[in-house]
Amino acid sequence: MPKEVTIADIMRVLEEYDVVELDDVRIEGDVEIELSTGVAVPPSLINALQSSIGVQVSPEVTAGERIENLVEAKFEVAKAEWNGQIEEVTIGASSSDGGTREKTVTIGGEKSLPFYNFDYQMPHPPVITVDCFDISIPLAKAVRGHYQDVMEDPGEWAKKNVHEFGADMVTIHLISTDPLIKDTPAREAAKTVEEVLQAVKVPIVIGGSGNPDKDPEVLEAAAEAAEGERCLIASANLNMDYERIAKAAQDYGHVILSWTQLDINAQKTLNRYLFKLGVPRGDIVIDPTTAALGYGLDYAFTNIERMRISALRGDADLAFPISCGITNAWGAREAWMKYSPIREDSDWGPAVNRGPIYEIMTGLTLGIAGGDMFMMMHPEAASAVKRVTQMLFGSEETADKEIMIKDWVKWKCK
Amino acid sequence: MKISSPMEIWKYLPGTNCGKCGEKTCLAFASLLKERKKKLEDCPPLFEPEYADKGKNLAELLAPEVREVEIGVGARAMKIGGEDVMYRHELTFFNRTALTYDVWDTMNSEDLRERIERITKWQKFYVGTFLNVDAIAVRSVSDDARTFAECVKAISAQTDFPLVLCSFNANVIEEGLKEVSDRNPLIYAANENNWKDFLDIAKRYEVPVTLFSPDLDMLNRLALTFSSAGVEDLVLDPGTYPTGKGLEETFSRFVRIRRAGIEEGNKGIAYPLMSVPLTAWIDGDGDKAEDALSSSYWEGIIADLFIIKYADIMILHSIEPHLLIPERTLVANLYTDPRRPVSVEPGLREIGNPTADESPLFVTTNFALTYYTVESDLNSNKIDSYLMVVDTEGIGVESAVAGGQLNAESFKDTLESFDVESKVKHKTMVIPGLAARLSGETEDVTGWTVFVGPRDSGRIPGWMESNWPPKNAH
C-alpha cells in the first residue's frame, strides 16, 4: 500500500528544497489531495501541482480541494405496496337507478395513501359537500354574509351552494328537530328534505340534529321521503338506536355514515355492528370526527391517518371512504373572534381573513390524512380546497401557469 | 435509528445499573433511548475510556435516519431534520418545521427594520406557552454582493434570529456570509451550475448549505458530491411548484425523498428538506399577484401541505397574522408528541384567589386542549374563579354533549366526587355556551343554579361584565 501523503507533506518537502517548479514529474495511480482549511498554499505550489499532475486549482481558492465532477448517481425509491383497498361508494342515484339525481358522486377505491399517485393513481378526487340548515343559525360573520339571503329557505340555500359556489353535493342539517332547539316533527323535517331534493340535482347528505333520542325517528322519516335517491344518511352512532337508522337507510336505498369520536376501536366496533345488520360494504362511509386546527386537529389527523394505513394494510373493518366535518374549523376562536382574548398576543388582524384559512387548512390537512369527502361552509374555503385537491389528484396535465421557481430568490414584490 | 428493541441498545451499555442517568436499570435507560426520551449524554460512564468504543458504536446506531442540521448559534440556534418516522403515530416527529420569513436586499432600511421587528416580535399564546416563528431568509434581489452584504449586516445588528442567506450567485453569498460568518447561517443554494463555488464556500466557512434541484437524480448527485467532500450539513430543496401538475410532482418528490431516507435507509439523500411556499406569490411575470388575499391563502395551502409532508424548513413571504397564526399552529399540532395524554385529571381547580361566596364556578371538560384554553383565558384576564373539570373521557365540549359524556349526570357526579359544595357556597355554576342545551336538566338533577356562559371561553371577560355577580344573588 502506498503511503498517504498530505499536501502539507509535499509543501514541507518542496519548501525544504526551495523548489519553485517541478519538471518531468509524473504521479501515477489515484491521486487524492486534501487541503485542510487554514493552510495557506503558495501560488508557486499551485503552479507546480498544476504542471506536474494536471490538477486544476483555481488561484483564488486559498484552501479547499476543487472537485471537478459531480458524483454519478440515480435517485431510486420503491413503490409502496399495500394489501388492502378502500371500498368504493357511490352517493346519489340517477334515473336509471331509480333516483332523480342528474349526477352522482363516487369516492374511495384507493390502494395508496391520498395523492400518492406515484404509488397508485388515486381513483377519485375528494368531493365537497356544502352545508345548509333547516333553520336560521348563528354563523361567523365571514360566513354569514354569503348566506344571509337564503337562511330562511333550505331549498334556495341548497341552490346557492350548487349554482353559485360549485358544490359537488349539498348537506341538509335538520337541526331544528332537536327538542331543545325547535323540536320540529320528523314529518316536517322530511318535507324539508323533499324540498332540497327538488331544488338541486346533485346528491345530498341528510344530517340530523345530533340528538341521539330524536335522530333515529327524524332520519327514518327523511330516508323514506328520499326513497331511491341514494343519499348519505348522517349519521349512525354507538350511543343511539343506530339499528333503526341503518335499517331505514337500507329499506329506502341510501348510504349510511358511521360516526365515532376519535376512537379507532369504536369505529371498528360500530362498522362491525353495521355489517351484522346486513348493511353492504358499498353502503358505508365513515366519519372518525373532525377537530379544528389548534383544537385537536392533531388527534383527528392521526386518527384518520392511522385508520387509512390500517385499512391499506388489510383491516377490512376500516376500509371505507372517510367524511370530514370541516365546518367544525369555525369552532376555533381564531377563525371568528375579533381580538385575541390573550393580552400578550401579537395583533390577530381582521377576523374575516382568518376564518376561511382556518377552514382551508383544517380541510386540506385531513385530506392529506385520508379524507374523501369534506363538509364545508365558506365558499372561498370550499373552492380553494377543491382546487388544491384536484391538482394533487392529478386533474391538471400541465402547470396552469409556467412559474419560474428557479428565480424565486430574485422575485420582486412591490 | 437502526435499532428495533431496547435489548439491542442494552448490549452497548455498561450494564452496571449505576443510576447516573436517573433510571434504576440500564435496561430502563435503553428503552428510553429507543423512544428518544433520553440522550446518550445522560449516561456519563459511556464517555469513559473503558466504554468509549461501545459508546461510539451506539451513537451510530441511535443516529436518526434523517440527518440533524443546526442553523444559527446560541440560544436562538435551531435544529432541523433528525426525523425517524414517516407517520407521527409511529413515534413522534421531533424537530418542528422551521418557519422562515423573507426580507430582501432592495428594501429601504426603514421597511427592513420594521419587517424584521414584526417577524422577530411576533407571538401567539397556545396551550400554555407563546409560539414564535423561527428564522429570517434574506433574498438578494439586487444580485449585487455589496448591497446584499450591507443588508445582512443591518439585519445582524438588529436581531440574533437564525438567518438563511439566499442567492444563486456565490459571490453575493460569500460577501453576505463575511458579515455573519460567526452566526452559522444556512446558505441557499447550490445548484447544478454553481455547486463548485458553493462547495468551496461551505467548506471554508463551515456553514450548512442548501442544495437545489427539482431533478432528483441531480439532487442526489449534489448531495453525494458534497458529503463525499466532507460537507454534510446539507438541506435539500427539491423545488416547490405552487400549482397544477408541478404541485402534484412537488408533493411526490418530498414524499419519495423522505421515504428513501427513512424506509430504505438511503443515507445519501437523508437530509432535511426545504420547501418554499413563497413561490405561491410568483406569477408568470414575476409581479405581485392582483389579489393579495387569495395569494396569501394559496401560500398557506402550500405551507400546510409541506408542513405535513415533509419539509423541515420553509421560506414564506406573507407575515400577515391570518397566515402566521394558522401556519405556526399547524406546526405545533403536527409536532406535538402523540404519546402525551389527551386528557387532564378531572377535579376542582382554583384560578387566582377565589372566594367561596363571590367567585364564579366555571365548568369545562378534561380534554387537555379545552382545559388549557379555558384555564389560560381565566388566568390571562386575572379572573379569580373556580374551574370544575368534568371527566368526559378526554373529549371536547361540543363532541361530549353530542356523545353524551357531558350531561346532567356527569355534572352531578363531578360536584359530588370533588365535594364542590363545600367550597363554592353560592351553588351556581357557569356551563359552557356549547352545552347550553343541558342547562335545564342540570338544574333539575343537581339542584344548582345554572348559568350559560359564552360559547368561547375567550369571551368570559365580557360575559362577566354583564352576568357576574348575579343580579339575584343567593
pLDDT confidence tier of residue B79, bands split at 50, 70 and 90: very high
Domain-located, residue A174:
yes
Same domain, yes or no, for A129 and A257?
yes
Residue type, A176: S
Q: What letter represents residue B115's amino acid? A: R
Residue A247 within a domain: yes
Domains of chain B: 6-62 (1.10.15.40), 68-334 (3.20.20.20), 347-467 (3.40.50.11600)
pLDDT of residue A56: 44
From A49-58, A113-122, B128-137, B149-158, the region with the lowest mean pLDDT: A49-58
pLDDT at B210: 98
Average pLDDT over residues B358-381: 91
- In this prediction, residues B422-447 reach a mean pLDDT of 94
B221·A391 Cβ contact <8 A: no
Identify the pLDDT of residue A150: 97
Provide the CATH number for the domain around residue A115: 3.20.20.20
Q: Is A3 part of any domain?
A: yes
Chain A residues whose CB is inside 8 A of the B140 CB are 409-410
For chain A, the distance separating the N- and C-terminal CA atoms, rounded to the nearest angstrom, is 64
Same domain, A206 and A331: yes
| String of DSSP letters for B183-248 | G-PEEEEE-TTTHHHHHHHHHHHT--EEEE-SSHHHHHHHHHHHHHTT---EEEE-----SHHHHH
- Which residues 190-219 in chain B show a CB within 8 A of chain A? 191-192, 195-196, 199-200, 203-204, 206, 214, 216-219
Q: Which member of B122, B126, B282 has the closest CB to residue A411?
A: B282
B7 vs A157, higher pLDDT: A157
Sort A100 into a burial class: Cβ within 10 Å, 0-12 / 13-18 / 19+: middle
- The torsion defined by the Cα of B39, B41, B47 and B48, in degrees rounded to 10, comes to -110
Q: Which of A10, A38, A73 lies at the terminal end of a domain, its last residue? A: A73
ipTM, two decimals: 0.87
Same domain (yes/no): A68, A98: no
pLDDT at A400 over 90: no
Band the pLDDT of A57: cuts 50, 70, 90. Answer: very low
Cα-based distances in Å from A74 to A70, A71, B199? 12, 10, 21
Q: Evaluate if residue B340 carries a pLDDT over 80.
A: no
| pLDDT band of A58, cuts 50, 70, 90 | very low
Is the predicted pLDDT of residue A17 greater than 90, yes or no? Answer: no
Q: How much is the pLDDT for B299?
A: 97
pLDDT score, position B333: 96
Which residues 428-467 of B have a C-beta within 8 angstroms of A? 437, 456-461
Span B46-56, pLDDT tens digits: 999 999 899 99
Average pLDDT, chain B: 93
pLDDT surpasses 90 at B308: yes
Last residue of a domain, one of A27, A44, A73: A73
A358 touches chain B (CB under 8 A): yes
CA distance A24 to A191: 102
Dihedrals φ, ψ of A300, to 5°?
Answer: -65, -45
Highest mean pLDDT among A18-27, A43-52, B41-50: B41-50
The pTM score is 0.86
From the list A70, A380, A404, the residue facing B225 with the nearest CB is A70
**Helix orientation angle between B244-262 and A379-393, rounded to the nearest 10 degrees:** 60
Confidence of residue B113 (pLDDT cuts 50, 70, 90): very high
- In B, which residues are within 8 Å of A55 by CB distance? none
Grid cell listed for B325: 397564526
Q: Are residues A194 and A302 in the same domain?
A: yes
- Indicate if A56 and A104 belong to the same structural domain: no
Please check whether residue A368 lies inside any domain of the structure: yes
Mean pLDDT of chain A: 88
Give a yes or no: residue A80 inside a domain: no
Number of structural domains in chain A? 2
C-alpha cell at A413: 414584490
Residues 6+ apart with CB under 8 A from A17: none
A262 vs B395: CB contact, 8 Å cut-off? Answer: yes
Q: Which of A46-50, B404-408, B469-473 has the lowest mean pLDDT?
A: A46-50
- Considering the domain architecture, whether residues A129 and A65 belong to the same structural domain is answered as no
Phi then psi dihedrals of residue A392, to 5 deg: -65, -35
* A126 sits in which H/E element: none
Alpha carbon of A210: minimum distance to chain B alpha carbons (Å): 6
User: What is the pLDDT, as a whole number, of residue B387?
Assistant: 97
Is the CB of A354 less than 8 angstroms away from the CB of B286?
A: no
Residue A134 shares a structural domain with residue A67: no
Do A348 and A212 share a structural domain? yes
Residue B334 above 70 pLDDT?
yes
The per-residue pLDDT for A67 is 86
For residue A59, what pLDDT is reported? Answer: 39
Query: What distance in Å separates residue B373's CA from the closest CA in chain A?
Result: 9
In which band, very low, low, confident or very high, does the pLDDT at A24 lie, cut at 50, 70 and 90? low
Same domain, A33 and A182: no
Closest residue in B to A180 (Cα) is B437
Domain identity same for A59 and A105: no
A33 has pLDDT over 70? no
Q: Is the residue at A30 inside a domain?
A: yes
Instruction: Choose the final residue of a domain: A73, A98, A132.
Output: A73
N-terminal to C-terminal alpha carbon distance within chain B: 63
Same domain, A111 and A157: yes
Alpha-carbon distance of A376 to A365, in angstroms, equals 14
- As a dihedral over the C-alpha atoms of residue A34, residue A40, residue A44, residue A50, rounded to 10 degrees, the angle is 20
A361 backbone φψ class: left, alpha, beta (φ>0; ψ -120 to 50): alpha
Contact state of A293 with B330 under an 8 Å Cβ cutoff? yes
Domain presence at residue A83: no
Whole-angstrom Cα distance, residue B26 to residue B15?
Answer: 6
Residue A82, domain member (yes or no): no
B22: three-class secondary structure by DSSP: coil
Pick from A75, A337, A342: which is nearest to B216 by CB?
Answer: A75
Domain hosting residue A48, numbered range: 1-73
pLDDT tops 50 at residue A367: yes
Q: Based on the domain organization, do A257 and A389 belong to the same domain?
A: yes
